[in-house]
């Protein structure tokens, strides 16, 4: 290619070997961390978000649950915050009491702005005048992302036993 050949031909004649580093020079300063790089998501953010999810579920608040998710969050039942709100509103309309317990979460940071956790869940509901709790349990995988200064669930996938 001509561009490579002409640039090589235009270099001044002289040293072809790079100079060794000066042993007496000060070490280079560390590169500054850009302000746009957010600190990593702490595991405590996952723990707090799970507690808020359990509380909103116990209170039967579809709005509070939906607010914990990103706008495009994925769940085992579909995607989107409005779908999540609609599904929980329907569930809470059909039951008189409900409990969600998430345990044994094992968290790992996947990127500076994402935290993934896997654990177990148990959900219990009472319908109508029934005094019996209906219970289901299984595995749950949750991904949490930083949104501004707060955290939201971007993915919540579960598998029933």
pLDDT at 59 over 90: yes
Mean pLDDT, to the nearest integer, of 12-30? 53
Q: For residue 25, give Cα distances in angstroms to 17, 30, 72, 100.
A: 20, 15, 52, 61
Distance CA 73, CA 80 (A): 5
Mean pLDDT, to the nearest integer, of 1-8? 42
pLDDT at 17 over 80: no
At residue 84 the predicted structure's pLDDT band, cuts being 50, 70 and 90, is: very high
User: For 123-161, what is each residue's pLDDT tens digit?
Assistant: 999 998 888 999 999 999 999 999 988 999 999 999 999
% of the chain at pLDDT higher than 70: 76
């Amino acid at each position: 290619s001509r561009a490579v050949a002409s640039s090589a031909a235009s270099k001044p004649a002289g040293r072809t070997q790079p100079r060794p580093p000066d042993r007496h020079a000060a070490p280079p300063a560390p590169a500054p961390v850009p302000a746009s790089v957010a600190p990593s998501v702490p595991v405590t953010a996952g723990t707090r978000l799970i507690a808020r999810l359990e509380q909103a579920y116990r209170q039967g608040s579809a709005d509070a649950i939906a607010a914990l998710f990103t706008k495009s969050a994925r769940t085992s039942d579909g995607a989107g915050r409005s779908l999540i709100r609609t599904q929980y509103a329907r569930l809470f309309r059909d039951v008189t009491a409900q409990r969600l317990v998430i345990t044994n979460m094992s968290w790992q940071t996947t990127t500076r702005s994402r935290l993934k956790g896997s654990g177990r869940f148990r959900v219990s509901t009472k319908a109508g005048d029934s005094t019996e709790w209906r219970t289901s349990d299984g595995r749950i995988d949750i991904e949490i992302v930083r949104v501004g200064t707060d955290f939201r669930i971007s993915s919540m996938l579960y598998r029933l036993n």
